[in-house]
Amino acid sequence: MLSKRGRGAASLLWGSNLGDRPANLASAREAIRAAAGPILNTSAVYRTEAWGKTDQPEFLNQVVEVETDLDPEALLETLMDIERQMGRERSERWAPRTIDLDILYYGQDVVQTARLMLPHPGIPDRRFTLVPLAEIAPDFVHPQYGKTNQQLLRACYDLLTVREYF
């Protein structure tokens, strides 16, 4: 997957727990195609319990691989623009949202800036990320931990429910 494509291939996680969640994911897909590049691979959509702030509706989450000419910082800015256009309001950490777009991996790049950390630091701790990620890229090796996504999933201590939606 990403290791074969190198620079320009990114794994993204998107999720929604407000409004018409399937329509929100479809809108995000189209917006990302138009603004960032073609989607090469997609996981199933999963129903997941909220993580962090648990007293809110469950999420629909999906991981996709996108091929992009945008560098990581430009990709982040593009995703944040899409979130704003889709009505995302950043009122509090882990609040309910129409759409949440995260960069998980950008090839094998390791990025540490004030705005962006890649790979996403939450990958090893979040089953809602690892289940769909291991579905589409089970053998991709995390560039910092030296473990595959499948190995990270097996070691994940998060017990929140993740069920296939469609």
The closest of 69, 56, 58 to 15, measured between CA atoms, is: 58
Answer whether 9's CB lies under 8 Å from 107's CB.
yes
Q: For residue 127, which phi and psi values (nearest 5 degrees)?
A: -60, -35
Q: Long-range contacts for 77-80 (Cβ within 8 Å, ≥24 apart)?
A: 78/32, 78/35, 78/36, 79/12, 79/32, 79/36, 79/103
Q: Which residue numbers are catalytic?
A: 88, 97, 100, 102
Distance (Å, whole) CA 78 – CA 152: 28
Residue 20 DSSP code:
S
Label the pairing between strands 117-118 and 111-112: antiparallel
